[in-house]
Each structure stands twice: as structure tokens, then as C-alpha cells.
Structure 1
């Protein structure tokens, strides 16, 4: 957690020479060798070590990197939410500080997919391929039923309305769920990751507060993606958060819209592919269906 040494990886300083900001220590863990290097960009509320299974698998065939954005995980604090430009500038400097040369295979999950696409827009020569795991998109409402757009205020959670702490029962259930999810993680990593999740569960809601303003705006105005291999994986299971607010028929239509969006994202580039991972959940697609993610990553690596 912030202020403590991570159970894996090491800390690197970035931003020390930037007059706009103070230097920050960011966590990065790297293993494997060769290129292009795989770089994992977590979704909102997740951290680098949530992707340790993918990082370790990718390290079997290339250099593989996970990290924590500032304001998350074991990296130094930062005011959230942040813009894609801020996040991609930081990531670029971190990779250089860690001596990890490009080009990169960027693996972006959910919010991390926005950041991966923005990196590719801004630094196209440094990207060899993109793997987007159940990504969001600035044009998502175009693909959703009208009723979903009308429910946007319900679907967004104001952090100020969240409780100050989890109940004992919520903590117990969360611990059980995470213990199962991280069963294959090393014991020390698993315990620290669960402790972090219990302390930082609000982060997921704060990181997405600027979705419909700064994030969407930067992506819309950012230009085309480079001509590199791109794969979009859709989580084919039911989104449990959406299910709290939508009747079954509307939920099916919303998922159909998401599939159409992801297919359009893949079709928008010359070497794009779209695949659905049956039964996968949005939040933990990469844990519950590790092999599907690694298979897609190996194919991308071969093409790159």
C-alpha cells in the first residue's frame, strides 16, 4: 500500500525534473526477457498485482511489466481522478526510468484500455500492439439502449454517498472472495493485496469521475490509432453491477450493445480482431479466464 514497500517489484522515481509536479515513487515489477515488452494497465480500482498471473505468464515468452499508477496500489499518492494525458506521460517516464525500451504490447483492462489507446494515439512509434480487455469507449452510449442512457445517474456512484467503512460482514465476504480469486498468488502477495483492497475500495469510484468529461474528450480528439495488431476481448458473462439496476431484457440489450461496440472497435483498424470470452466477468476476466487472455497475448506477440 502507499507508503509501504510492495511485496514484489521496486520503486522508481518519476517527475523529479518536471516543474509542473513533484517527483513521485511508482511501483513497477518486471520479469522475462526479449521484446516487444508486455505492459499491463489495470482497470479502475485494480492494481498491478491483480494481474500477476498474466504478467508471470507473459514473462515466459517476453519481457513483462506490471505497475501501479500514481494514487493507486503501492505508488505514491496523487489527486484522483486523472486525465489520460497525465497517466500516459507518467507511464512513459516510468518505463524509461525502469530501463524497459519500446515498442510495447499494451494490455489495458476497462479504464486501463482508455489509457492504452491514448498512449498509442500519442506515441504510435512506441506501440507494437494492443490487447483491450472488456474496454469502455467514449461512444458507448451510441451502442446502448436509450433507457440505459437515462439511467446514467443511477449507474454512476458519487463517492461522497458511500459509507465510511465496510461492515464486518462485507469484510468477511470480501476476504473470502479475494482469497479464492488470488489462490494461486504467492502467500505474501495475496495477503498484502487483500489488505490493500479492503483499505482502498473507494478508489474504483473516484478514478472514473471524469469519464464523460476529460477522458472521453481526450480520446475523441486524440486521432487515429496506429496500424498495429489490436485484439478486443469481451467479457461474455452478466455484469453484476448493471444487474442491480436493469431488468433482464434491458440487461441483455445492454450486453448486446457492448458486444457491438467492441466489434466496431476492432473493425476500425486494419488488423483488429474481436473475441468474446464466454462466462467471463468484467472485473476479473483476466483471473477467471487467464488462458484466454494469454492466448490472445501470444498471438499478438507473434504478429508484432
Structure 2
């Protein structure tokens, strides 16, 4: 099933991001925020309905080890609008051009979450020489839809057929109140505009992006080259966040988790240096906050693997200290 509902993105004219700066890429202004030094650079690819600054806290920790990069895809966050959904080829080509425009040298350790995990895989498939490693956080898998229980597939079809609603002022205010505790650890200068963006724009872009997972993006992943032989960690979150619990009964969630775990295990074993890690008590949407230490450990482990593999190259000049688990 293909969807082509257009959306102009969060704003026609690009608003000023609380952090980072804009770069001209393909005729659009795209937001990128970079801190830290050294290589390979860690690049965070957000999930659908999320933006680069959602990963600010784990980004700041990664920047203690190496260069760390947050960005917003076109049509999301503080980047200029684009028609959504988009192909994986468009998104990964755009990311490559943005990193070059910002002067962030390859290769990269790509940290992809959910939909961002699919894009990270596609980037590695297209540009293997520019990929140092992969951390896939509860990534979307192209076969999950077919393996999910019938009840889940039918519910998704209903959701995708619906028009994206407009929230009332009362609903917007309620959403702001619900989001405030989630972003309590962000700096005030970032927290306020980030909450406002989430309740007014990010969730809409997420719905449009999500509709593209089950046809175009899945097809692109299936027909792309194999993943390169780079260090890979696939993290599976088995907890349920509020959105999932609202959509699916407990039995359906269990079946989805079983199918997801099997696919993630297979994905991790598809490369020689792949590893699968399971987080029992982390939900899908915010595992990078709920289990920040586990995510940071995975980043550090992958940087160590890169240093061992490329210790004589300029991108990994020295081994990283291994952290305690």
C-alpha cells in the first residue's frame, strides 16, 4: 500500500533552532548540531516523530568520546520542509551531503533509532566505505509487518487510512503538560521550544513518515546490497511505552516483541561482528533516555571496535577506554 500525502514540514520558513546551525543542501536549509572532537563521528538518526534534539543528552555523553552529530531530516524538526513521506535513497543521500557540507569527515558511526535504524542500514548499504559502525536502537525491520499478528496489521491499515487530525487548543495544552516531565532533563533554552515543536509539528511529520515504512522503504532495504563488514550492535527494547499499550492488547504486544526479537537476532548475525542486546525494561520511543547508560555503553563498545579495526587510520587515532557495564 503506497501513501503520498504531502506535508510542507513543520514550517515554510525555517525557524531558528535552539542549538546547531543551518546548512544548504539540495536547495533546502537543514539543521545540524555538532560537538566533541575526533573520529569516527557518531551520527544520530531520529525515529519517526522525533527530532535530533530529542537525543541531546546521549549526544552530549557521546561527545565526551568523539565528535557527535545531531540533525533533522528535511520535513522534520528545524530543517526546511519537504513532501513526506520520502524514499530511503532521498534521506540517506541528503544525510551524506549534509555531513559533507558541515565538514564532518567519514567514516561515521551511525546510531539509528526505529525508522532512523532503517535509514542507517540503507546508508551503510549505499555507502559502505563511509560507515565505520552501526548502532541500531529497536530498528524498524522490513519483515516485521508480515510477521506481526493479523490484529496488528489491520489496526495499522486503519491508522494509515485516516487523515492526520488537527488538535484543539485544549488538546495542545494537555499535550504540553504531558510532555513537560519527559523533557525535564533538557536545558531550559532547549526544553521549551522542543516541547512546543513536539505538540504542534513533530507528531504530524512522524505519522507521514511512518506510513512509508511498509512499502517503499521496506522495498529499498530488501533490494539493497548486504550490510558491510563493520561492527554492529542491534538493541531490542521489550518494554511497552504508553502509545504501544494504548494501541495493542498485551497478547498482541507479546507477539510483536517475539517477531521483532527474532528479526533483530537475524539482523545482528548478518555480519561477522554483529551483536544483539536485549533491554527488558525499556520502551520503544525513549529507550535512549530510559536506558541511557546501556546506549552509551554500546556507543563506547563500537568506538572501541573501530579503534581496534582501524587503529592505524586517521579516523580512529587511539583506542577508547572500555567502560564498566
Normalised by the size of structure 2, how large is the TM-score?
Answer: 0.86
Q: Distance in 2 between matches of 1:166 and 1:106?
A: 38
Please list, as runs of the form range in 1=range in 2, the aligned pairs for 1:82-93 lying within 5 A after superposition. 82-93=86-97
Distance in 1 (alpha carbons) for counterparts of 2:242 and 2:256: 13
Q: Which residue is 1:289 aligned to?
A: 291
CA contact (8 A) 1:140 1:261 kept: yes
Shift of 1:166: 3.9
Q: Secondary structure at the match of 1:178?
A: helix
- Structure 2: gaps of 5 or more residues: 1-9, 307-325
Aligned residues: 294
Check whether the contact 1:145–1:257 (CA below 8 A) recurs between aligned residues: no
Going from structure 1 to structure 2, the CA distance change for 1:66 and 1:217 (only over 3 Å counts) comes to same
Structure 1 residues 258, 61: closer, same or farther in 2, change over 3 A?
same
Q: SS of the residue aligned with 1:261?
A: helix
CA shift for structure 1 position 53: 0.8
Label 1:159 to 1:151 Cα distance change in 2 as closer, same or farther (>3 A): closer
List per-residue Cα deviations over 1:81-114 (Å, max 9, x = no partner): 0100000111001000000001000000111111
Aligned to 1:122: 126
Q: For 2:187 and 2:217, locate their aligned partners in 1 and report how far apart those are by CA, in whole Å.
A: 35
Cross-structure match for 1:10:
21
Provide closer, same or farther for how the CA distance between residues 5 and 246 of structure 1 changes in structure 2, counting only shifts above 3 A.
closer
TM superposition shift of 1:116: 0.4
- Tell whether 2:236 aligns with 1:234: yes
2:255 aligned residue = 253
- Match of 2:160? 157
SS in 2 for 1:157: helix
Larger deviation, residues 287-296 vs 95-104: 287-296
Once residues 146 and 247 of structure 2 are traced to their aligned partners in structure 1, the CA distance between those partners, rounded to angstroms, is 19
User: Is the 8 Å Cα contact of residues 172 and 200 (structure 2) preserved in structure 1?
Assistant: no
Aligned partner of 2:187 in structure 1 is: 186
Aligned to 2:320: none
Kindly report the root-mean-square deviation, in angstroms, between the aligned alpha carbons of the 2 structures. 1.6
Against the structure 1 CA distance between its residues 290 and 120, is the aligned structure 2 distance closer, same or farther, given a 3 Å change threshold? Answer: same
Residue 207 (structure 1) aligns with: 209
Q: How far apart, in 2, do the equivalents of 1:149 and 1:203 lie?
A: 21
Partner residue in 1 for 2:109: 105
Q: Give SS of 2:80's match.
A: coil
| CA distance in 1 between partners of 2:128 and 2:84 (Å) | 26
Q: 2:36 aligns with which of 32, 36, 40?
A: 32
CA contact (8 A) 1:41 1:116 kept: yes
Map Cα deviations across residues 8-28 of structure 1 (whole Å, 9 max, x no partner).
Answer: 00010011xxxxxxx111000
In structure 2, the CA distance between the partners of 1:64 and 1:229, relative to structure 1 (3 Å rule), is same
The Cα shift of 1:208 comes to 1.8
Are 1:64 and 2:68 counterparts?
A: yes
Structure 1: runs of 5+ lacking an equivalent: 16-22
Aligned to 1:19: none
- Using the TM superposition, give the Cα deviation of residue 153 of structure 1 relative to its aligned residue in structure 2, in angstroms: 1.6
Q: What secondary structure is seen at the aligned counterpart in 2 of 1:202? A: helix
